[in-house]
Amino acid sequence: MAINYDERIPNNVDLSSDRRLKKALEKWQPAFLDWWRSVGPQVFSNKDVYLRTAVSTEPGGWSQFGHVKMPDYRWGVFLGAPEKDRVIPGGDHAGKPVWQEVPGEYRNALKRIIVVQADTEPASVEQQRFLADTAPSLYDCRNLFQVNVEEGRHLWAMVYLLQAYFGRDGREEADALLARRSGNEDTPRILDAFNQPCEDWLTFFSFTTFTDRDGKYQLGSLAESAFDPLSRTCRFMLTEEAHHMFVGETGMERILRRSVELAKLAPNGDARELGGIDFPTVQKWVNHWYTYSLDLFGSEISTNAADYFASGLKGRWQEAKRYEDHSALGQTKAIQQLNNGKVIEVDVPLRNAMNELLRDEYVADCQRVVKKWNRTLSKMDTDFRVELPDRKFHRRQGIYAGAHFDRAGNPIAESEWNAMRDTWLPTADDRAYVKSLMKPVYEPGKMANWIAAPRRGINRQPVEFEYVRTDR
Ligand SMILES: [Fe+2]
Ligand SMILES: [Fe+2]
């Protein structure tokens, strides 16, 4: 699936053979670039950045590195290779051939699914647009930009589906994706986590660890879709998403490492004394972003989720590969519920628990990440460990929203919540402190005081490589 870069819109979908679609996308392209210039990265927006660009969608060897000015990045339409004789992985139509067109009866549901996924992509670019102002190093600045251009690419991927398969209302949705704005009161982005401010790098690394990981699982369930173009689109997006999570995981690990170093040097053992980010602060950011990301999976018990699975619009994580029974009928899943102030388990038909099933996969993946951080901490001879709160803690969506739970998941009174809140979640003072540390470091190889250097550079380049040519 080589990508054709000779056309105005690079693609591997033979765009030149579909004049109407090509015209529609070429009309959308300048609107996208206007959007990028007005709400994309503001600093270094016209400097050379060491970026990777997709060359083919084959696994391995699909990327090429080089210095590019961001507005010249070749955003385009790239789908994973078609799988020969692919059949619908799960639900009522399992085993039948996949759809190459959108069935009329599922048109609205499918469009909604694509729009909601699409909306998160430009939202995160908007949330992160001022971060380069305070980049802790050029290495980090480059990683931020790489994430940004790829989220822009993901928007292209979803807009292609809308314009190619949903006619006029697809084109209208494509325009609306450039009109909503993260955090805007009148025209906000669709999901809550994507309207949260992202103004410091501890937030950026928490976001890329936890919120981009939500994206991984949403894309994973769409990769199992009966609608084949959606599946192929998401399969390729997943390969790009991996880097975003790498940026988050390693960023947090570097903050923790530096925190240990500074705490050891500080007279009272507190990293803040020496301008570091102390452990309790890191833990608060983890609590905040992990729980906001848990919300993105939707309600624990959901008829919509059951319908999406039944119709084949979404599948379970690795539905085709990991399951033998693809009906998910005649099975239940135990879900915790609050009943008269006590947590009890209720058996829910499995199809209605699909959101929770996907959340299970996500939680396990997050636990793996935290375990890795904690291994680093234990090697550095410190007692602190990062902990993920229980999934009922601090939720604003789903069946636990509106009730209060401690970090272990025990129900607590509102008064107790109010008394503890500031020790569990970021306060205005914490945010002000973290923000006070955010000063740019633009000298190649140099790092801000609050973060350790990465263990290696990008694409085998040294850490002190000029990842952003600030003077050219
Ligand atoms: Fe994305
Ligand atoms: Fe991402």
Ligand 2 centroid from CA 152, angstroms? 10
Residue 60 vs residue 43, higher pLDDT: 43
330 in Cβ contact with 337 (< 8 Å): no
Q: Tell me if 464 is assigned to some domain.
A: yes
Ligand 1 centroid from CA 278, angstroms? 30
315 in Cβ contact with 321 (< 8 Å): no
Q: Tell me if 192 is assigned to some domain.
A: yes
Ligand 2 centroid from CA 151, angstroms? 6
Pairing of strands 332-339, 48-54: unpaired
Chain segment 393-448, per-residue pLDDT in tens: 999 999 999 999 999 999 999 999 999 999 999 999 999 999 999 999 999 999 99
Handedness of CA 15, 242, 324, 225 (dihedral sign): negative
Q: Which ligand is nearest to the CA of 212?
A: 2
Ligand 2 centroid from CA 215, angstroms? 7
Q: Tell me if 379 is assigned to some domain.
A: yes
Ligand 2 centroid from CA 379, angstroms? 30
Residue 447 has a pLDDT of 98
Ligand 1 centroid from CA 371, angstroms? 25
User: How far, in Å, CA of 283 to CA of 259, rounded?
Assistant: 12
Q: Which ligand is nearest to the CA of 154?
A: 1
Ligand 1 centroid from CA 194, angstroms? 12
Chain segment 256-272, per-residue pLDDT in tens: 999 999 999 999 999 99
Ligand 1 centroid from CA 144, angstroms? 13
Q: Tell me if 5 is assigned to some domain.
A: no
Which residue's structure tokens are 């979404």?
Answer: 314
The helix (H) or strand (E) run that includes residue 468 is: strand 468-469
User: How far, in Å, CA of 133 to CA of 130, rounded?
Assistant: 6
CA distances from 24 to 160, 268, 274 (A): 10, 63, 55
Ligand 2 centroid from CA 214, angstroms? 9
Ligand 2 centroid from CA 126, angstroms? 13
Phi then psi dihedrals of residue 376, to 5 deg: -60, -45
237 in Cβ contact with 332 (< 8 Å): no
Confidence of residue 1 (pLDDT cuts 50, 70, 90): low
Ligand 1 centroid from CA 150, angstroms? 7
Q: Tell me if 459 is assigned to some domain.
A: yes
Question: Is 84's pLDDT higher than 80?
Answer: yes
What is the CB-side half-sphere exposure of residue 28 using CA atoms within 13 A?
Answer: 29
Q: Tell me if 10 is assigned to some domain.
A: no
Residue 355 has a pLDDT of 98
Residue 271 has a pLDDT of 96
Q: Nearest to residue 356, comparing CAs of 397, 409, 324?
A: 397
Question: Is 61's pLDDT higher than 60?
Answer: no
The whole-number average pLDDT for the span 67-80 is: 92
The one-letter code for the residue type at 111 is K
Ligand 2 centroid from CA 242, angstroms? 8
User: How far, in Å, CA of 437 to CA of 450, rounded?
Assistant: 8
Give ∠ CA 251-257-262 in degrees, rounded to 5: 125
| DSSP helix, strand, coil percent of the chain (3-state; round to 5) | 55, 10, 40
User: How far, in Å, CA of 194 to CA of 289, rounded?
Assistant: 11
CB-count burial class (<10 Å; 0-12, 13-18, 19+) for 270: middle
Q: Tell me if 2 is assigned to some domain.
A: no
Question: Is 342's pLDDT higher than 60?
Answer: yes
Q: Would you call 182 helix, strand, or coil by DSSP? A: coil
392 in Cβ contact with 269 (< 8 Å): no
150 sits in the region (left: phi over 0; alpha: psi -120 to 50; else beta) called alpha
Q: Which ligand is nearest to the CA of 242?
A: 2
Ligand 2 centroid from CA 410, angstroms? 33
Ligand 1 centroid from CA 140, angstroms? 18
Residue 433 has a pLDDT of 98
Pairing of strands 332-339, 63-69: unpaired
Ligand 2 centroid from CA 293, angstroms? 13
The whole-number average pLDDT for the span 232-256 is: 95
181 in Cβ contact with 189 (< 8 Å): yes
Handedness of CA 123, 129, 134, 140 (dihedral sign): positive
For the ranges 98-102, 192-196, 255-259, 334-338, the lowest mean pLDDT is seen at: 192-196
Residue 383 vs residue 57, higher pLDDT: 383
CB atoms within 10 A of CB 371: 12
- The count of domains in the chain is 1
What is the CB-side half-sphere exposure of residue 97 using CA atoms within 13 A?
Answer: 7
Q: Would you call 1 helix, strand, or coil by DSSP? A: coil
Ligand 2 centroid from CA 261, angstroms? 30
Mean pLDDT over the full length of the chain: 95
Q: Tell me the DSSP string of 181-237.
A: -TT-SSS--SSGGGGS---SHHHHHHIIIIIHHHHHHHHHHHHT-SBHHHHHHHHHH
Ligand 1 centroid from CA 237, angstroms? 7
Crossing angle, helix 279-295 and helix 414-424, to 10 degrees? 120
Q: Tell me if 6 is assigned to some domain.
A: no
Residue 335 has a pLDDT of 98
The one-letter code for the residue type at 312 is G
Residue 6 has a pLDDT of 82
- Which domain covers residue 277, as residue numbers? 15-469
> Residue 169 maps to which CATH number?
1.10.620.20
Crossing angle, helix 279-295 and helix 228-265, to 10 degrees? 160
Ligand 1 centroid from CA 272, angstroms? 34
The one-letter code for the residue type at 453 is A
Q: Which ligand is nearest to the CA of 208?
A: 2
Residue ranges in 335-397 assigned as alpha helix (H): 354-379
Question: Is 62's pLDDT higher than 80?
Answer: no
Ligand 1 centroid from CA 334, angstroms? 31
The whole-number average pLDDT for the span 89-106 is: 98
What is the CB-side half-sphere exposure of residue 14 using CA atoms within 13 A?
Answer: 4
Phi then psi dihedrals of residue 400, to 5 deg: -95, -10
What is the CB-side half-sphere exposure of residue 310 using CA atoms within 13 A?
Answer: 14
Q: Which ligand is nearest to the CA of 204?
A: 2
